[in-house]
Amino acid sequence: MLTPLSRFLAEQPAPESLRQLILAVADACRDIGHAVNTSAIEGLTGALEQENVQGEMQKKLDVIANDMMLEARRWGGHVSALVSEEMEEIYPLISGEYLLVFDPIDGSSNVDVNGVVGTIFSVLKAPEGPIAEADVLQPGRRQLAAGYAIYGPQTTLVLTLGAGVSAFSLDQKTGDWLMTTPRMTIPASTREFAINMSNHRHWMPSVRRYIDECLAGKTGVRGADFNMRWLASMVGDVHRVLTRGGIFMYPVDSRKGIGKLRLMYEANPIAFLIEQAGGLATDGVNPILDIQPDDLHQRVGVVLGSREEVERVADYHKA
Ligand code: AHG
Ligand code: MN
Ligand code: MN
Ligand code: MN
């Protein structure tokens, strides 16, 4: 018998309100997953003629999934503000103990090619009273819970409440989330990297050195052949790293001098999971979770995964 998410949560040393919130997030992910699964039938693939705050063309599913997360009745009075990739400003609700920060559809360029996408979320403590943007700008270290749902061949929820990482698969027949991996751990060493190689010419010398050494294979300085994977969905690539190890990088490069991925709803929740699974998550040198955010949509370089490789990249940066 596999443990349902509700029973797992009942055994966690977390307040009842947080457990209820996580169950509500899981329900929302189930609904979003269903919208993803049926998107071609419902005519919900493709782009809209509009951009989000970061100047990306929004997909129909970006907006639909975001709207599903905005349904206040879901949150049972536990959330006082929502923050999303798809909304410029915070979205206040009446009152609640928590802030919920999310990327409704991660990897949305994959929607139309039936590739892997997901939903990423982060839970922070809310101060009392009305919420201002500054209240949300908390370092990732203060997250109470974080996770993602991945809508792939299986629909899986990966979750941390700060005591390890567990994975729950969606039983499509009953709608239950059942624990399929009690404790995800990342091996310290790996021979697999994930990076968008088409950006090679824009990378910093340290990143170029690291990847070029991986590519040199057995006869190079690393003395080993490396494999490469890139799904163009952070959730998909990170799920592989959490499952069998690896290093995932979206570094700062020379194009804008900043990374691509967003700190509050991509890098922070994923970094929390990666650290909880025994890996490292840095901006290239320093832990992502220690960064003090100064903007809801700020971008950050990301280097995360198997400890030895992430440390090697940091060493190259410092050299
Ligand atoms: P989103 O779809 O939420 O905007 O995020 C896309 C991100 C991330 O999921 C992925 O790792 C990266 O963009 C892919 O970028 P490239 O298209 O540059 O490879
Ligand atoms: Mn986007
Ligand atoms: Mn994303
Ligand atoms: Mn997104």
Considering the domain 5-181, what is its CATH architecture? 2-Layer Sandwich (3.30)
If you measure from the C-alpha of residue 288 to the centroid of ligand 2, how many angstroms do you get, rounded to a whole number? 20
**Confidence grade of residue 223 (pLDDT, cut at 50, 70, 90):** very high
Q: How far apart are CA 107 and CA 115, in angstroms?
A: 9
Would the CB of 64 count as within 6 Å of ligand 1? no
Which amino acid residue places its CA nearest to atom 16 of ligand 1? Answer: 232
In this prediction the pTM is 0.98
179 phi and psi, to 5 degrees? -70, 120
Residue 95 in this model has a pLDDT that exceeds 90: no
pLDDT, one tens digit per residue, over 255-290 is: 988 999 999 999 999 999 999 999 999 999 999 999
Question: What is the distance between the alpha carbons of residues 252 and 107, in angstroms, rounded to a whole number?
Answer: 19
Is the ipTM higher than 0.90? The answer is: yes
Tell the residue nearest (CA) to atom 19 of ligand 1. Answer: 232
Span 192-318 CATH architecture: 3-Layer(aba) Sandwich (3.40)
Residues making up the annotated binding site for Mg(2+) are 85, 103, 105-106, 266
What is residue 283's predicted lDDT score, i.e. its pLDDT?
98
Domain residue limits, the chain? 5-181, 192-318
Probe residue for ligand 1, chosen from 57, 253, 260 as the CB with the greatest number of ligand atoms within 8 Å: 260
Q: Are 306 and 245 in contact (CB under 8 A)?
A: yes
* Alpha carbon nearest to ligand 1 atom 11, residue: 234
Side-chain-side CA neighbours of 216 within 13 Å: the count stands at: 11
Euclidean distance between CA atoms 62 and 84, whole angstroms: 10
Question: Rounded mean pLDDT of the chain?
Answer: 97
Confidence at residue 44, expressed as pLDDT on a 0 to 100 scale: 87
